[in-house]
Amino acid sequence: MALTIKRFHDPMPPGAFLRLHRKHLVNRGYVATNQPDEYWQRLTNGDRVAVARRRAETVLRETKLVGIGY
């Protein structure tokens, strides 16, 4: 598909998905844990998804607000 992730992310309900990386848009309900010392998010299915260095602080703050993984 020749669309950017931003085209999918913008119409979604606010706060429903996390933009972790330019290639990764993740449903908050599937984030299992934070890895605060690394740039990774662990998902409920066991996968690890990279978090962009520029987005790491924002992602960590947003996941703490909803109590994911801590």
User: Taking residues 28-56, what's their average pLDDT?
Assistant: 81
Residue pair 20/62 in contact by the 8 Å Cβ criterion: no
67 — pLDDT class (breaks 50, 70, 90): low
SS3 58: helix
**pLDDT computed for residue 66 by the predictor:** 56
Q: Please give the Cα distance from 46 to 10 (Å, whole number).
A: 27
Top-confidence residue, 3 or 54: 54
Say yes or no to pLDDT of 70 above 50: no
DSSP letter for 56, please.
H
Phi, psi of 16 (to 5 degrees): -80, -30
Q: Please give the Cα distance from 52 to 21 (Å, whole number).
A: 5
